[in-house]
């Protein structure tokens, strides 16, 4: 299944369609019939004889997933299997395919073998003749093979070298090792001697603080034979020099490789979202070699592509065909979105801004960071990608940052984002490690980046090319980098710094500006685009980690207001149902060996960091399920505070991308959607705090300012209703005031002191309800409490929950007699996502929630559980000491 869809993606990535003409390009996928084995020359062969025998392989795939499919290894994610499977990434592997070629194919003018991705150091031979030595996971390899093929059976062999075993002997002889990211926990690399800096391979596979160390090897993208005669259409691109409401002035650009001069006609046809069609034809005289043909296309009153929440993500279908003498020589087609993108950096009273402007509209970016979908990239099917992206869109997100320590995603990913109106901030694949400065490394990256920008630039979802993740800020401010700088001479420091500036400030910038000029380029995240120090609040984008990594209180989120916060986060555990897939019952404690093995922050000590924040806000969990639940409540309420603070500070701040949306495996992390696609509490909160209209009370130092935040492009009249209640439901007082909610703005609606709200009431027993009303109906609600949850006198809510069929679908009705905080409804392992969850219920309030999924009514009724905050912590005991009087 995976092989089939990746084969289709490979064909669609080129967008070249065959025709009946004898000259048309023909493509033959080479995906079936592969075998693999542990290379006989590998030192691991004696210890793993079963792996050393030829077995069936899947392409695309990896040695790890092939071993798992063959039953040779256990589930890499189960319990602490990770430690015992490191040998796979330290060994060399062989992949072999026998395939037939007919004489007619060999009569074609050109026959080329194309690998869309080899992971990573690979020697390729055909019929015993060496063809290629690959050294970059992110490049496509195209090799002429007509002279090496013969009619009948042919044998293709790919020998994959362990990147660690390949580079480590060299690195250990060098005068120093460049600072990397995370040292191996398994002793296969000496601390501080990381090979990952020196190879173009996904950094996260060497282990990260949210994922395991599985250094994959394999043929991770499709393979095919391409045969053609005189002409090949190498690239088709629709440039957008000018797009506005009145006209789209486009250029259909075709790169054609031809063997001999000839005249052709190039026809470009387009179909608008509403079915309107247009066509443009241009004659071209081609010369032998490379030809670049440009066909101007003009579309009046274009139906533009808009980000989610601002309009429809309209897509045009464009097809180009090359013809000569009545024969169709080649054709290509793609879906494009017509839109303009600007990264606006105006100077103002707060410094220098950082705002995305799409079609002239300033957009507050609401979203999260996206990491790879799996430790093994070949397992990321289009269906899985779509599920994660749909979760983002359903939570009112409009932007995802494709983080630089993973992989460039398949075309299917960007096509889904295009259709959903999700803007993509696209990092180049550098995850924070300091880069080598030699010319060969930079040239390798230049080719990689050129290929990736050519492949991806027509996707309207991509609104930023970013050079790297945290390379500059790490170099400038991380302690290990400072220690490293002091260990080498000043001249070498300068060479390293100049190399980074050349790579990210010039090489990648030039590629992006030359090939994708309509999309802005940004040198590093966070940075000021090399216009000063990185990670400052008043200029550029900002990563904020004093909360969590620095152990500062969650309330400190209110102490910083950057221009665009592109990273910040709090951890949580996934659900018990998710944990049960990779653990045994005896593993279910925060400090068990297995749970520590799945906690990658601080080598397992991250669970204590979680407890620190849980205890600060809520108290002591009464058991492990409560710990899991409280971790999600803490994460959700903490990120909500940060995100709403940023939104309320618009236009000083113009973006909130929390870390992180998804997971590569089942375990504790910063994600809001776990490995199996289950929503954590944070994802439900995000749906509310990223809503188009949000009422935001910000309380600090006994004073609450209330904002009406609106992403609407037109103003509207509203009312702010403020009710103060005790936790049994008695209304202590109430007021309403009219306001004009400005378009694309945060409007200050009211300011209250605690004394004005409480009017003498006990803060431990009191809650404030802020509601934004439009035409008398609430469009947003926010509850405010006077202190951390552990300081409040929360009552038993006496919850009642019922599952029923209401004539349209399955629903859950939930009622609270008294105030209920952080209500969580769960169906265990059943497939049942709720329209809302992780919410507070006022005294006497009932809500009805839709249930999506495949589970039947009876099963849902039996599995239903509901809980709230009051039951999750141990009661506070007060110890007294008796003093005897003399």
In the predicted model, is pLDDT for residue 3 greater than 70?
A: no
Judge whether 247 and 298 are in contact, CB under 8 Å.
Answer: yes
Asked if residue 176 belongs to a domain, the reply is yes
Q: What is the mean pLDDT of residues 282-307?
A: 98
Asked if residue 840 belongs to a domain, the reply is yes
Q: Both 833 and 781 in a single domain?
A: no
Residue pLDDT, tens place only, 122-155:
999 999 999 999 999 999 999 999 999 999 999 9
CA end-to-end span of the chain: 85
Q: Is 265 helix (H, G, I), strand (E, B) or coil?
A: strand
In the predicted model, is pLDDT for residue 313 greater than 60?
A: yes
- Structural domain of residue 782, as residue ranges? 693-791
Residue pLDDT, tens place only, 418-438:
999 999 999 999 999 999 999
Task: Name the token pair of 828.
Answer: 């265990």
In the predicted model, is pLDDT for residue 228 greater than 90?
A: yes
Q: Both 36 and 163 in a single domain?
A: yes
685 contacts: CB under 8 Å, gap ≥ 6: 636, 637, 639, 640, 838
Judge whether 399 and 367 are in contact, CB under 8 Å.
Answer: yes
In the predicted model, is pLDDT for residue 17 greater than 70?
A: no
Q: Can you say whether the dihedral through the CA atoms of 251, 252, 257, 262 is positive or negative? A: negative
Decide which of 207, 224, 241 is a domain's last residue.
Answer: 224
Confidence of residue 875 (pLDDT cuts 50, 70, 90): confident
Q: Phi/psi at 41 (nearest 5 deg)?
A: -80, -10
Residue pLDDT, tens place only, 370-398:
999 999 999 999 999 999 999 999 999 99
Asked if residue 123 belongs to a domain, the reply is yes
Residue pLDDT, tens place only, 452-476:
999 999 999 999 999 999 999 999 9
Using alpha carbons, select from 727, 658, 721 the residue that is nearest to residue 689.
658
Judge whether 545 and 636 are in contact, CB under 8 Å.
Answer: no
Confidence of residue 19 (pLDDT cuts 50, 70, 90): very low
Q: Both 192 and 265 in a single domain?
A: no
Element (H, E) at 288: none
DSSP string over 429-467? S--SPPPP--HHHHHHHHHHHHHHHHHHTT-TTEEEEE-
Residue pLDDT, tens place only, 709-737:
999 999 999 999 999 999 999 999 999 99
Q: Work out the burial of residue 493: count CB atoms within 10 Å of its CB; fewer than 13 is exposed, 13-18 middle, 19 or more buried.
A: middle
Measured CA to CA, the distance from residue 49 to residue 674 in angstroms comes to 36
Element (H, E) at 240: strand 231-243
The conformational region for residue 776 under phi > 0 = left, psi -120 to 50 = alpha, else beta, is left
Q: Provide the CATH number for the domain around residue 154.
A: 2.60.120.260
Q: What is the pLDDT of residue 876?
A: 53
DSSP string over 600-660? -GGGGTHHHHHHHHHHHHT--BSSHHHHHHHHHHHHHHHHHHHHHHHHHTTTT--EEEES-
Q: Work out the burial of residue 631: count CB atoms within 10 Å of its CB; fewer than 13 is exposed, 13-18 middle, 19 or more buried.
A: buried
Q: What is the pLDDT of residue 291?
A: 98
Q: Is 279 helix (H, G, I), strand (E, B) or coil?
A: strand
Q: What is the mean pLDDT of residues 604-616?
A: 98
In the predicted model, is pLDDT for residue 880 greater than 70?
A: no
Q: What is the pLDDT of residue 326?
A: 87
Q: Both 250 and 173 in a single domain?
A: no
Task: Name the token pair of 262.
Answer: 């000839």
Asked if residue 445 belongs to a domain, the reply is no
Q: What is the mean pLDDT of residues 515-531?
A: 98
In the predicted model, is pLDDT for residue 20 greater than 80?
A: no
Q: Both 159 and 247 in a single domain?
A: no
Q: Both 26 and 80 in a single domain?
A: yes
Judge whether 503 and 445 are in contact, CB under 8 Å.
Answer: yes
Asked if residue 143 belongs to a domain, the reply is yes
Q: Both 747 and 763 in a single domain?
A: yes
Task: Name the token pair of 220.
Answer: 């991770």
Q: What is the pLDDT of residue 878?
A: 34
Q: How far is CA 611 from CA 211, 585, 608, 728, in A?
A: 20, 21, 5, 30
Q: What is the pLDDT of residue 457?
A: 98
Judge whether 254 and 322 are in contact, CB under 8 Å.
Answer: yes
Q: Phi/psi at 779 (nearest 5 deg)?
A: -110, -15
Confidence of residue 298 (pLDDT cuts 50, 70, 90): very high
In the predicted model, is pLDDT for residue 5 greater than 70?
A: no
Q: Both 137 and 163 in a single domain?
A: yes
Q: Both 72 and 175 in a single domain?
A: yes
Judge whether 809 and 849 are in contact, CB under 8 Å.
Answer: no
C-beta atoms surrounding 508 within 10 Å: 26
Asked if residue 454 belongs to a domain, the reply is no
Q: Both 705 and 834 in a single domain?
A: no
Q: What is the mean pLDDT of residues 662-681?
A: 98
Q: Provide the CATH number for the domain around residue 843.
A: 2.60.40.10
In the predicted model, is pLDDT for residue 881 greater than 90?
A: no
In the predicted model, is pLDDT for residue 99 greater than 70?
A: yes
Measured CA to CA, the distance from residue 400 to residue 524 in angstroms comes to 16
Q: Both 20 and 81 in a single domain?
A: yes
Confidence of residue 23 (pLDDT cuts 50, 70, 90): low
SS3 labels along 784-844:
EECCCHHHCCCCCCCEEEEEEECCCCEEEEEEECCCEEEEEEECCCCCCEECCCCEEECCC
Q: How far is CA 813 from CA 571, 716, 778, 858, 861, in A?
A: 30, 32, 20, 15, 12
In the predicted model, is pLDDT for residue 233 greater than 70?
A: yes
Residue pLDDT, tens place only, 814-845:
999 999 999 999 999 999 999 999 999 999 99
Asked if residue 865 belongs to a domain, the reply is yes
Task: Name the token pair of 863.
Answer: 């599995």
Number of domains in the chain: 4
729 contacts: CB under 8 Å, gap ≥ 6: 818, 819, 842, 843, 844
Q: What is the mean pLDDT of residues 535-547?
A: 98
Q: What is the pLDDT of residue 813?
A: 98
760 contacts: CB under 8 Å, gap ≥ 6: none
Longest dimension (CA), the chain: 117
Task: Name the token pair of 763.
Answer: 């803060």
Q: What is the pLDDT of residue 404?
A: 98
Confidence of residue 13 (pLDDT cuts 50, 70, 90): very low
What is the CB-side half-sphere exposure of residue 566 using CA atoms within 13 A? 32
Using alpha carbons, select from 630, 649, 638 the residue that is nearest to residue 565.
649
Residue pLDDT, tens place only, 73-89:
999 999 999 999 999 99
Q: Both 261 and 198 in a single domain?
A: no
Q: Can you say whether the dihedral through the CA atoms of 171, 218, 377, 136 is positive or negative? A: positive
Q: What is the pLDDT of residue 6?
A: 42
Measured CA to CA, the distance from residue 626 to residue 638 in angstroms comes to 18
Measured CA to CA, the distance from residue 199 to residue 89 in angstroms comes to 14
Q: What is the mean pLDDT of residues 273-281?
A: 98
Decide which of 318, 336, 354 is a domain's last residue.
Answer: 336
In the predicted model, is pLDDT for residue 187 greater than 80?
A: yes
24 contacts: CB under 8 Å, gap ≥ 6: 18, 228, 328, 329, 330
Q: Where are the beta strands (DSSP E) in 633-764?
A: 655-658, 693-700, 703-710, 716-726, 731-741, 745-753
Decide which of 742, 774, 791 is a domain's last residue.
Answer: 791
Q: What is the mean pLDDT of residues 593-604?
A: 97
* pTM summary value: 0.96
Asked if residue 594 belongs to a domain, the reply is no
Task: Name the token pair of 35.
Answer: 């075998």
Q: What is the mean pLDDT of residues 36-57?
A: 96
């Amino acid at each position: 299944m995976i092989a089939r869809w990746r084969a289709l993606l490979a064909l669609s990535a080129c967008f070249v369609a065959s025709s009946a003409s004898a000259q048309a390009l023909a493509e033959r996928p080479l995906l079936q019939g592969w075998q693999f084995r542990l290379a006989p020359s590998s030192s691991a062969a004696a210890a793993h004889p079963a792996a050393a025998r030829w077995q069936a392989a899947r392409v695309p795939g990896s040695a790890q997933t092939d071993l798992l499919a063959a039953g040779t290894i256990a589930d890499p994610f189960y319990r602490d299997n990770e430690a015992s499977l490191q040998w796979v990434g330290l060994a060399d592997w062989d992949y072999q395919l026998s395939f037939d070629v007919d004489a007619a194919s060999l009569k074609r003018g050109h026959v080329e073998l194309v690998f869309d991705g080899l992971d990573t150091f690979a020697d390729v031979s055909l019929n015993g003749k060496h063809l290629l030595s690959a050294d970059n996971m992110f490049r496509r390899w195209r090799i002429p093979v007509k002279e090496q093929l013969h009619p009948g059976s042919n044998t293709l062999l790919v020998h994959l070298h362990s990147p660690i075993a390949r580079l480590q002997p060299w690195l250990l002889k060098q005068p120093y090792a460049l600072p990397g990211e995370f040292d191996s926990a398994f002793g296969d690399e000496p601390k501080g001697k990381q090979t990952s800096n020196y190879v173009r391979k996904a950094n996260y596979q060497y282990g990260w603080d949210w994922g395991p160390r599985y250094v994959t090897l394999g043929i991770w993208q499709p393979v095919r034979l391409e045969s053609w005669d005189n002409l090949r259409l190498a690239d088709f691109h629709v440039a957008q020099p000018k797009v506005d409401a009145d006209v789209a002035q486009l250029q259909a650009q075709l790169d054609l490789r031809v063997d001999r001069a000839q005249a052709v006609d190039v026809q470009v046809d387009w179909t608008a979202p509403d079915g309107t069609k247009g066509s443009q034809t241009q004659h071209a005289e081609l010369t032998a070699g490379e030809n670049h043909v440009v066909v101007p296309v003009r579309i009046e009153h274009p139906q533009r592509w808009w980000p989610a929440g601002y309009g429809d993500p309209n897509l045009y279908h464009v097809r180009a065909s090359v013809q000569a003498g009545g024969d169709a020589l080649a054709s290509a087609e793609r879906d494009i979105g017509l839109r303009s993108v600007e990264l606006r950096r105006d100077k103002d009273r707060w410094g220098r801004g950082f705002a995305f402007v799409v079609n002239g509209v300033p957009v507050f970016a609401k979203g999260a960071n996206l990491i790879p979908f799996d430790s093994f990239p070949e397992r990321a099917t289009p269906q899985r990608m779509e599920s994660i992206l749909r979760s983002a869109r359903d939570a009112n997100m409009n932007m995802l940052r494709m983080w630089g320590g993973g992989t460039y995603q398949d075309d299917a990913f960007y096509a889904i984002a295009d259709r959903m109106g999700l803007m993509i901030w696209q990092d180049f694949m550098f995850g924070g490690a300091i880069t080598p400065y030699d010319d060969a490394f930079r040239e390798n990256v230049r080719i990689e980046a050129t290929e990736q920008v050519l492949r991806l630039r027509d996707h309207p979802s991509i609104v930023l090319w970013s050079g790297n993740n945290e390379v500059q800020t790490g170099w400038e401010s991380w302690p290990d980098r400072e220690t490293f700088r002091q260990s080498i001479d000043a001249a070498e420091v300068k060479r390293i710094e100049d190399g980074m500036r050349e790579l990210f400030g010039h090489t990648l910038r030039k590629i992006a500006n030359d090939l994708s000029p309509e999309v802005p380029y940004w040198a590093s995240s966070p940075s000021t685009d090399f216009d000063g120090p990185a990670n400052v609040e008043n200029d550029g984008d900002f990563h904020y980690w004093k909360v969590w990594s620095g152990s500062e209180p969650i309330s400190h989120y209110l102490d910083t207001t950057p221009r665009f916060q592109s990273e910040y986060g709090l951890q949580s555990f996934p659900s018990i149902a998710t944990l049960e897939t990779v653990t045994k019952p005896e593993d279910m404690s925060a400090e068990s060996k297995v749970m520590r093995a799945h906690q990658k922050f601080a080598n397992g000590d991250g669970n204590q960091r979680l407890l620190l924040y849980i205890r600060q806000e809520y108290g002591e969990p009464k058991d492990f399920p409560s710990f899991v639940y409280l971790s999600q409540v803490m994460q959700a309420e903490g990120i909500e505070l940060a995100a709403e603070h940023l939104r309320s500070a618009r236009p000083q701040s113009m973006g909130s991308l929390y870390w992180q949306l998804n997971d590569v495996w089942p375990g504790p992390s910063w994600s809001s959607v776990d490995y199996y696609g289950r929503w954590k509490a944070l994802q439900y909160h995000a749906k509310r705090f990223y809503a188009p209209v949000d009422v935001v009370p910000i309380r600090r130092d006994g004073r609450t300012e209330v904002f009406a935040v609106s992403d609407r492009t037109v103003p509207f009249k509203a009312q702010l209703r403020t009710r103060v209640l005790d936790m049994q439901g008695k209304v202590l007082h109430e007021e309403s005031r009219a306001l004009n909610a400005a378009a694309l703005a945060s409007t200050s609606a009211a300011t209250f002191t605690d004394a004005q709200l409480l009017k003498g009431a006990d803060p431990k027993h009191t809650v404030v309800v802020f509601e934004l009303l439009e035409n008398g109906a609430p469009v947003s609600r926010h509850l405010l409490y006077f202190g951390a949850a552990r300081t409040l006198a929360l009552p038993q809510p006496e919850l009642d929950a019922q599952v029923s069929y209401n004539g349209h679908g399955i629903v859950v009705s939930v009622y609270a007699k008294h105030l209920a905080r952080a209500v969580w409804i769960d169906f265990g392992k059943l497939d049942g996502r709720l329209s809302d969850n992780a919410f507070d219920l006022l005294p006497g309030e009932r809500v009805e929630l839709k249930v999506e999924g495949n589970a039947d009514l009876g099963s849902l009724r039996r599995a239903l559980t509901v809980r709230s905050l009051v039951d999750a912590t141990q009661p506070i005991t007060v110890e007294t000491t008796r003093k005897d009087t003399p």
